[in-house]
Amino acid sequence: MRDLFDEKERWKKVADDYLNKFLNEKKSVGLDLRVQRQSVRLEGLHKMCDDLSEEHDEK
């Protein structure tokens, strides 16, 4: 009976490990996408600033 309990606990740990790994990967993908979106926004802001400074220099 003790062996059955130990095996059940071991499988619970395996399932928990896989779930945690999946959630960590999902979280890291979400962070990567947020960083990527912010980089795109920053590139857009840099372009707008460059355009404004060029317009100002022309005046």
pLDDT of residue 22: 87
Q: Mapping DSSP to helix (H, G, I), strand (E, B) and coil, where does residue 1 land?
A: coil
- What is the DSSP code (8-state) at residue 29? H
Whether 38 is in a domain gets the answer yes
Q: Which two tokens stand for residue 55?
A: 């317009």
pLDDT of residue 39: 83
Whether 6 is in a domain gets the answer no
Whether 47 is in a domain gets the answer yes
Alpha carbon 34 to its chain's center: 7
Q: Mapping DSSP to helix (H, G, I), strand (E, B) and coil, where does residue 59 land?
A: coil
> What does the pLDDT look like over 24-53, one tens digit per residue?
887 777 777 777 788 888 888 888 888 888
Q: Average of pLDDT values for 4-28?
A: 86
Domain count, the chain: 1
pLDDT of residue 34: 76
Whether 22 is in a domain gets the answer no
Q: Average of pLDDT values for 11-24?
A: 88
Q: 54 is in which domain, residue-wise?
A: 29-59
